[in-house]
Structure 1
Amino acid sequence: MSETHKTFLHVVSIAQTILDGEKVKSKITPALIAEKVDLAMGLVAGSKSVEFDRQAAISELIRRFSLWIGQDSTLHDEEGHEPWLVSSRKKDWRYWQRYQAFVERKMSTTAVDALNKSTDRILAFLEDPNREGAWDRRGLVVGHVQSGKTGNYSGLVCKAADAGYKIIIVLAGLHNNLRSQTQIRLEESFLGYETSFAGEFGQPVGVGEIDTDSKIQPNCATTRADKGDFTTKVAKHLAISPEQRPWLFVVKKNKTVLERLLKWIRSHVADATDSASNRRFVSNLPLLLIDDEADHASVDTGEQLFNPDGTPDDEHQPKAINSRIRRILHSFAKSAYVGYTATPFANIFIHRRNETTEEGPDLFPQSFIINLAAPSNYVGPARVFGLNSADGRVGGLPLIRDISDHVSKDGSGGWMPPQHNKEHIPLYEGLDALPPSMREAIGAFVLACAARTCRGQDSEHSSMLIHVTRLNLVQKEVYRQVEEVVKRMRQRITRGVDHEALITELHSLWDNDFLPTCVEITSLLPEDECHTLTPTWEQILAVLPDVLSDIDVRMINGTAKDALDYAEHQGKGLKIIAIGGDKLSRGLTLEGLCVSYFVRTSKMYDTLMQMGRWFGYRPGYIDLCRLYTTAELVEWFGHIADASEELREEFDAMVESGGTPKDYGLKVQSHPILMVTSPLKMRTAETLLLSYSGNLVQTVALFRDPAILRRNLDATNQLLVAMGEPFERGITRARDGNPDEWKRSFLWNSVGANLITDFLTSFSTHPKASRANSAVLAEFVDKMVKAGELTSWTVALLGEGHATKPYAFANGLEIVAWPSRTDTKVEGSYSIGVLTDPSDEAIDLDYPAWKKALDWTLLEWKPDPARNRLTEPTRPGGKKIRDVRGLGRDDIKAAPERGVLLLYPLNPEGAGESVSSIWSEPIMAFAISFPSSNSTVKVAYKVDHLLWEQEYGPAD
């Protein structure tokens, strides 16, 4: 770390400590912060002699003191657990104390306090390491992508070691670079020294510079080197004495490595033998096993069978990595497993009863699931992509740049078509060249680096991600092309030869893209999250030569060097363009990520979210960030952001009702989000069992084919005729403030379920509307009717839109204002963001029921910046509308028989000229609001794995 950066951190730390002494936090103004920075500069030797950026220190402290963090939420099961973590146990905790002092250099006091509470809560759900007898605790911590999960489990490791856990194993990804990156982080946060050779203490780093007492230095059996994993050589010479100090193992999720570690544990640490199975195990030493990215590789994708009496089939052979993890846990009488992930669905799909004699129970988080709250400055999917509405996605930041020139116009060829093999040579219009969008993205990265330099952030790392293929040979070709472009830019700018056209191109990008975007984002975000300085073009131009000289193009190939460089250049500011595939898609942090170019086509929830390296923290440079990607991927990220929100709402509801992880697992397993994860990870190799109860299903992908549009319009007409006269024409419902009105719409009550299933059977839903499959929906309704539910329907024909020509349906009802939904321009369908207006779902609720749904919504609501939840809702959430309708509450009677079908006659102009030029009648779309139900009815959805992979991509 450079002296300048050390001085900067020291000044900020002292100023923060002084400001923390203010009893009234509202008095901490920018002027007071500036005053305390000046005071701290006077106290720190060298702050006047080094090149110290006073304004950068002030800006950093403004951000820290503006930060707020929501509340974590937890589902837990106390069976077999003995509460133990009280304040007296924490008096002499030195590992945590020095880690706390270490993170206070970089984080606000608010963030450190939240970390302290969060790790206390997790540790308390584990067992007291001093507890006698055998025990086993298993939990899951759910964070957000790139939100600081490593910092959280680093704190947990420190506290667990303080409490008395003696062996701590951290499973750190599948590749060397991620394992090494994790090792480096744990050196800074827990070990306190560099690990060049296993078992040896190297130079002090991180916490080791705060508390230099060698008596508390933990032991470590792995190193930061590329080949620093747990090796045979280390195993042979490792004499363990964890009674004195804890041992840390940072290992890959690799069959050979885990087998080697298991063998060593059973040969050198085990001190007892199970009489029934002859299995060696450790009786006296408590184990903490932390599984980073716990949904990746750890989940057993094999289908376990069960005996007629319901017991697991002991002949089942779990997949290799899952098996080794479970065997390691099963080798300790006292063990605790904590998985960390941002995409927990594969873990929740783990069968709760899976068990074998050799492996013990599966990794289902039966003890607890904790949802970590994100800080207010976290930039997640909801911030990047916005939230869905009938007017499209709203509230997103203007960071996305649409690209389409990476493929030919017919989608079959071009520079990087979706289907390409390892022999593919990326050519743009037949030439060995990058497409214009990629050249622009590289230019955007250069400008972002230059702007950060002008803002005093030159000592911070800056990165660009290029993720266009998972094939290494193709990545090499992309690397060569990008390296050539950067080299030519560098030569032309630094030498001032043949540079005029390039300067003009960059100047235009700055004026037409960066300047207006900086202004717009400043207006959208709080002042503390933005940087007030927008450089002039002259300032940018002055630093361009140095910036281009510093940019390094890398192909991320899984070696430790990729991770090491950031740590080695702390405070010097690396500028890296990283080209990679799967090595970049899991866990590896790209420091200071500014620009991403992303065309990977997987559509599975967990795969896509994990590839989203652009989520995270962007202090003082969020306005300079760019995501170059396709319209289709933006649509899919929208889907998964919405799916994630639904499941988090379900989680919050279960927390409120006192549910356990088992309850949540059963709920999620039947949730009709068909692309959350690979069906292999769902443990249902052929069939998904779905329940639509408590869900809103809507057709957001529609056909463009006039023949199918005609068929769907005919199906609607048949339903309208069969229902007869509407119950209401022009609908008004009392609400708080102003009433909800549907003046041009029609509503029917007590419609028989047979008419609904006839409609669904006749209606053709688009294959891309994966949740709204009319045939599966019809089957579900039919099954629920047999169970005595969904027997009496409310149907609404919604005519709330811009006035256009009248259209008369077969029963004579006339729509004069057709609803309009704009096409998102995704290939192969007329795709829209959201069909339903937020008020439409409650069209059947009178005021008392509506008010009850709102009260219920407010009861569970808490601010969460990662979900764009910043202001208290004034309308009930859709989930609570469906809960109140189906389950009732207090004086509101339950009506699980009442489904709601919403019919939307969409204006074809929203689909674009290619449709409106050949179709002039309404494009029919529908939504169904299913009441919540305690029924266990589910419907089978068959999965063809080959088709699944073709549509969603392979499982990672």
Structure 2
Amino acid sequence: MAKAPGFDILVSTLIRYFSEDQLSPPSLDEVSEKAKSLAPILGFSGNIDQVVNEALPGIQVRMGIGHSLVDDAADHDPDWTTKREIDLTYTTNYSKFLREEGWNSTVVGNLEIVTEKILGLLQDPQGEGQWSRRGLVIGHVQSGKTANYLGLVARAADAGYKFIVIVAGIHNNLRRQTQERVDEGFVGRSSDPQNKELVGVGLYPGHPQPVALTTLLQDFKKDDASKMRSSLTDWRKPVVVVIKKNVSTLSQIKTWLRDFNLSVGQDKIADAPMLFIDDEADNASVNTNKEDVDPTKTNKLIREILDLFTKNSYVGYTATPFANIFINPDSYGDKKTLEDLFPRDFIYCLDAPTTYFGAEKIFLDEPNGEKHLREILDAGDILPLKQNKNTNISELPGSLKEAFLTFILARAIRNIRGQSHKHCSMLVNVSRLVALQKTVRVLLNDYLKLVREAIRANYALPGERGLKNKYMRKIHDIFNEEYSDVEEEWSDVVQQLDAAVGSVRLFVVNSSKSDEALDYASYEKKGEALTAVAIGGLSLSRGLTVEGLTVSYMYRNTQMYDTLLQMGRWFGYRPGYEDLCRVYLSPESIGWYQHIANATEELRDRVKQMRQYGKTPKDFGLLVQSHPDALLVTALNKMRHAEQRTLQISYDGMLRETFVLSNDNSMHESNRTTFAELYRTLSAPEFASRRFEKAHDKRDCRVWRAVEADVVDEFLEQFKWHAHHATHKDLVRRYLNRIRDRFPVWDVAFMTIKDRGVPLEINDFKMVAQERSAGRRDANHLMQSDHGPGFFVTGKQRVAGTRDERVGLTKEEIEVAKELADKEKRKNGATDLDFRDVTVRGRPLLMLHLIDLYDKRDGSEERPEELLVNAPAIGVSFPVTGDFDQIDYVLNKVMLDQLKSDFLELPDADEDFDDY
């Protein structure tokens, strides 16, 4: 059917309007109304419904252009890309390739905009003189960072960058995966020595193939590269290498380039501008004693390679901004070593498309969390969290068996949905030890055989007859529990079970020690889809893409932010099957992921705030380096042989809460008394004028404004913090005194909600508890190690509710916060970070809470188990200033050993662990 005049322009206008000017996906009615209002302006008089249907895919899947923090004082013109003509052959072909691979057109268009902006932050390769640029791009785990840096590589090659190095982590399988993507998206020819066919962009007529010095099977080799020297002397084509972050490989490249310079009689390469892409830039590589992946040597070699070019740009990519390039400049002997790769010129935060299935959706969106998260409660005795080479297991936890059956169901449902030609995977990450990974594979394979036999013997039986088999009954029960809300009926699903279970293949994935490669591409070449269960450790924890990941089972023991986030391979894009995805974690891991999701989102927001205040990337580095969570993030396992370390801590713009609650009621009784004493102090006549009555606030919180810091400090001293928070108690009080000159007074809020339950009566005030669920309950763990009484951890490791920090603000102050949020186009209005801004409240805030803690893990109970009643907890919120006043904190060996023994995986040098 022919389109009416103005059809295409109306569709594109709608997509552009809702992509650029709206914060959240519009409703169908909103799109229709906008189409009706634009139609006469654009001369369209046809069917509006057809226009809306055409525009919806481009509207519903959107991707922002991100935001940056730039050192404006540097001598640099960010608009150089628009001031000369650039032939965009590589860029155009790459965009075309992505669209043909099924990428949404709007997302591809935004990718082009973003990569042009990042290229503008680099230097013009045709610029005169010597120069070097250093930058960092912060993305999300499994969100398309590789696509972004390949887009940047294509643009850089179009602009005139001639030598391009891509460092793809420290694992062989990740390097191979990246090489394959470079072949398809940039080179245009497979580098498989057995099959050098045209692929990807190479299928487009006239694609100018770059020179590739690495292959699918082989990292950089100096001798092989030397044979191609004659083809490099005139640099007519870009040259690209894809390597591991490995000392020997980097040494070979450095030596080869140095020899190349000598052969043409120059000290530095002057006619080949160089771009160095450092994927997983935070992994340089920590947690290792191996000399070949030593972080200091690796860093030094990268700098020396860059220095061989008169014109060079370094761009690090990471999803974990709590990275050692920021945090750890003084944990090695040569402080300048790490500082030289610091992103001094720019930091660019990427936005994820609206279809991204990420940490925020899983861990911070409560309905989504309930849908997708499952707690592992039965694995402790079977799979100990602390493992060594003598650890043995002889059975699988029931939760892992259930996760496996859920995976088979998900494969069957996806087949019904027409996705039988799409890969479908399950991740099992329960040990870093290769021997244990292989044992899990054997046990899971035995279980697979039993399930396969049961399905084949019973799936075709009519009605209830097939369900007499215990395995079939279990699968049926799991379907009703997990997928009762899907459109597919059990009668249809059961018919697909045989095909689903028959297609399952088990893989152990641990870099070079793997006995079989997890090679999705080989199945694609045969026109087949792979149904894979990937069992592994660190190789699954950083960089490696597990295609079609549907069910994840992770039972690991670490609190390192970058490690935990990178373990989240379940993040990504799940078109047509997001509702089937399940993530199995321990309650403690769920709590830490929720905490980390909050912390990392806050860091990304701080980049925006720093831009408002005219700060530089150096200030962001200072923020991360001095973040109080650095006690866990940084070098606990980078300094395991150290006697002590002095950290610089800042609480600028931070909220610290006592989310660990003792199971000792005498501690809570003491703290309730301390609450009452503070209330009586503030009820004295001298504070009467500071009592804040907020008539428009529906809650009955009691707030005093401009209370002297001495009063707050005395309260913090008297309040009993659980041993888990002892370090932060000391730091918070010291920071209070550090900033006393600037913030001599505080706001103090007694948080309460509408009457329910049994309130705590303090004089005339009825303080009602806020309900929280327990993210972890551990009544004996700390008691056994003499660190204090047992404890519970609140869900999400939070005490305050969302936007609690607006308490005690005037209408005018709330308006200022809303203006800040509007300026940054926050989707859901002003956040606690906005309320914390120094231009809003202008003072620190002490919040006092009562918590009723429940164990809500068993949804079948009418009333969840009550763990604690009226348990006092506090939150201390410091204003966002950007000045980062710091205090010293000496972390000694005793504290290190305590933290390590309780929380962290620290393999010894002689263990059979993978990929360190």
The alignment's TM-score, normalised by the length of structure 1, stands at 0.80
Aligned partners of 2:247 and 2:298 also within 8 Å: yes
CA distance, structure 1, for counterparts of residue 168 and residue 342 of structure 2? 19
Superposed, 1:279-294 pairs within 5 Å as 280-294=267-281
Query: Residue 429 of structure 2 aligns to which amino acid in structure 1?
Result: H
Shift of 1:946: 3.0
Query: Residue 889 of structure 2 aligns to which amino acid in structure 1?
Result: Y
Secondary structure of the 1:415 match is coil
Superposed, 1:726-875 pairs within 5 Å as 727=688, 732-733=693-694, 739-743=696-700, 745-769=701-725, 773-785=728-740, 788-805=741-758, 807-809=760-762, 812-815=763-766, 817-827=768-778, 828-833=790-795, 834-838=798-802, 840-862=804-826, 869=827, 872-873=828-829
Residues 251 and 919 (structure 1), Cα distance of their counterparts in 2 relative to 1, 3 Å cut: closer
CA distance, structure 2, for counterparts of residue 355 and residue 118 of structure 1? 37
Structure 1: gaps of 5 or more residues? 1-17, 31-57, 275-279, 303-316, 388-392, 408-413, 427-431, 519-533, 863-868, 889-893
Superposed, 1:400-479 pairs within 5 Å as 400-407=373-380, 414-426=381-393, 432-479=394-441
Shift of 1:289: 0.7
Q: 1:292-311: CA deviations, max 9, x gaps?
A: 11111168999xxxxxxxxx
Residues 628 and 201 (structure 1), Cα distance of their counterparts in 2 relative to 1, 3 Å cut: closer
Q: 2:589 aligns with which of 633, 649, 654?
A: 633
Q: 2:125 aligns with which of 112, 126, 129?
A: 129
Query: Residue 852 of structure 1 aligns to which amino acid in structure 2?
Result: V
Residues 332 and 62 (structure 1), Cα distance of their counterparts in 2 relative to 1, 3 Å cut: same
Give the fraction of aligned pairs with identical amino acids, expressed as a percent.
Answer: 33
Shift of 1:164: 1.5
Superposed, 1:498-509 pairs within 5 Å as 500-509=469-478
Residues 24 and 578 (structure 1), Cα distance of their counterparts in 2 relative to 1, 3 Å cut: same
Matching of residue 377 in structure 1 with residue 332 in structure 2: no
Per the alignment, residue 96 of structure 1 pairs with 91
Residues 826 and 792 (structure 1), Cα distance of their counterparts in 2 relative to 1, 3 Å cut: same
Shift of 1:355: 12
Secondary structure of the 1:319 match is helix
Q: 1:868-898: CA deviations, max 9, x gaps?
A: x4xx42xx32222222xx346xxxxx84xx4
Aligned partners of 1:694 and 1:932 also within 8 Å: yes
Residues 909 and 625 (structure 1), Cα distance of their counterparts in 2 relative to 1, 3 Å cut: closer
CA distance, structure 1, for counterparts of residue 670 and residue 550 of structure 2? 48
CA distance, structure 2, for counterparts of residue 929 and residue 72 of structure 1? 27
Matching of residue 551 in structure 1 with residue 492 in structure 2: no
Aligned partners of 2:523 and 2:530 also within 8 Å: no
Q: 1:572-602: CA deviations, max 9, x gaps?
A: 2110000000011000000000000011111
Structure 2: gaps of 5 or more residues? 1-6, 19-26, 29-51, 460-465, 779-789, 859-863, 907-915
Secondary structure of the 1:396 match is helix
CA distance, structure 2, for counterparts of residue 335 and residue 299 of structure 1? 26
Secondary structure of the 1:849 match is helix
Matching of residue 947 in structure 1 with residue 903 in structure 2: no
Query: Residue 797 of structure 1 aligns to which amino acid in structure 2?
Result: F
Matching of residue 155 in structure 1 with residue 151 in structure 2: yes
Per the alignment, residue 85 of structure 1 pairs with 80
CA distance, structure 1, for counterparts of residue 103 and residue 792 of structure 2? 46
Shift of 1:62: 6.5
Shift of 1:361: 5.8
The alignment's TM-score, normalised by the length of structure 2, stands at 0.83
Residues 660 and 792 (structure 1), Cα distance of their counterparts in 2 relative to 1, 3 Å cut: closer
Q: 2:548 aligns with which of 574, 577, 592?
A: 592
Q: 1:602-644: CA deviations, max 9, x gaps?
A: 1111111100000110000011111111111111100001111
CA distance, structure 1, for counterparts of residue 889 and residue 856 of structure 2? 30
Query: Residue 237 of structure 1 aligns to which amino acid in structure 2?
Result: K
Per the alignment, residue 4 of structure 1 pairs with none
Query: Residue 292 of structure 1 aligns to which amino acid in structure 2?
Result: D
Query: Residue 316 of structure 2 aligns to which amino acid in structure 1?
Result: G
CA distance, structure 2, for counterparts of residue 21 and residue 211 of structure 1? 32
CA distance, structure 1, for counterparts of residue 89 and residue 559 of structure 2? 45
Matching of residue 536 in structure 1 with residue 489 in structure 2: yes
CA distance, structure 2, for counterparts of residue 395 and residue 450 of structure 1? 22
Shift of 1:801: 4.6
Per the alignment, residue 569 of structure 1 pairs with 524
Residues 262 and 952 (structure 1), Cα distance of their counterparts in 2 relative to 1, 3 Å cut: farther
Aligned partners of 1:695 and 1:929 also within 8 Å: yes
Per the alignment, residue 876 of structure 2 pairs with 928
Query: Residue 691 of structure 1 aligns to which amino acid in structure 2?
Result: S
CA distance, structure 2, for counterparts of residue 724 and residue 357 of structure 1? 53
CA distance, structure 2, for counterparts of residue 461 and residue 655 of structure 1? 42
Per the alignment, residue 3 of structure 2 pairs with none
Aligned partners of 1:598 and 1:628 also within 8 Å: yes
Shift of 1:515: 1.8
Shift of 1:723: 3.6
Aligned partners of 2:161 and 2:238 also within 8 Å: yes
Per the alignment, residue 37 of structure 1 pairs with none
Aligned partners of 1:353 and 1:361 also within 8 Å: no
Per the alignment, residue 209 of structure 2 pairs with 217
Per the alignment, residue 364 of structure 1 pairs with 342
Shift of 1:798: 2.9
CA distance, structure 1, for counterparts of residue 12 and residue 885 of structure 2? 57
Aligned partners of 2:507 and 2:518 also within 8 Å: no
CA distance, structure 1, for counterparts of residue 55 and residue 330 of structure 2? 47
CA distance, structure 2, for counterparts of residue 931 and residue 751 of structure 1? 15
Residues 577 and 201 (structure 1), Cα distance of their counterparts in 2 relative to 1, 3 Å cut: closer
Query: Residue 100 of structure 1 aligns to which amino acid in structure 2?
Result: S
Shift of 1:728: 8.1
CA distance, structure 1, for counterparts of residue 592 and residue 609 of structure 2? 26
Residues 211 and 908 (structure 1), Cα distance of their counterparts in 2 relative to 1, 3 Å cut: closer
Matching of residue 229 in structure 1 with residue 219 in structure 2: yes
Per the alignment, residue 284 of structure 2 pairs with 297
Aligned partners of 1:64 and 1:107 also within 8 Å: no
Shift of 1:212: 5.2
Superposed, 1:48-447 pairs within 5 Å as 63=57, 66-78=60-72, 79-83=74-78, 85-87=80-82, 89-105=84-100, 106-197=102-193, 202-211=196-205, 213=207, 216-225=208-217, 228-242=218-232, 243-269=235-261, 280-297=267-284, 319-346=296-323, 347-349=325-327, 351=329, 362-387=340-365, 393=366, 396=369, 398-407=371-380, 414-426=381-393, 432-447=394-409
Secondary structure of the 1:345 match is coil
Secondary structure of the 2:704 match is strand
Instruction: Compare 481-490 and 664-673 and name the one that shifted more.
Output: 664-673
Residues 504 and 821 (structure 1), Cα distance of their counterparts in 2 relative to 1, 3 Å cut: closer
CA distance, structure 2, for counterparts of residue 837 and residue 622 of structure 1? 28
Residues 332 and 501 (structure 1), Cα distance of their counterparts in 2 relative to 1, 3 Å cut: same
Aligned partners of 2:115 and 2:151 also within 8 Å: yes
Instruction: Compare 837-846 and 545-554 and name the one that shifted more.
Output: 837-846
Superposed, 1:583-732 pairs within 5 Å as 583-674=539-630, 677-679=633-635, 686-725=645-684, 727=688, 732=693
CA distance, structure 2, for counterparts of residue 326 and residue 415 of structure 1? 47
CA distance, structure 2, for counterparts of residue 502 and residue 582 of structure 1? 32
Matching of residue 582 in structure 1 with residue 538 in structure 2: yes
Query: Residue 386 of structure 1 aligns to which amino acid in structure 2?
Result: L
Per the alignment, residue 38 of structure 2 pairs with none
Matching of residue 904 in structure 1 with residue 849 in structure 2: yes
Shift of 1:386: 2.3
Query: Residue 156 of structure 2 aligns to which amino acid in structure 1?
Result: A
Query: Residue 69 of structure 1 aligns to which amino acid in structure 2?
Result: M
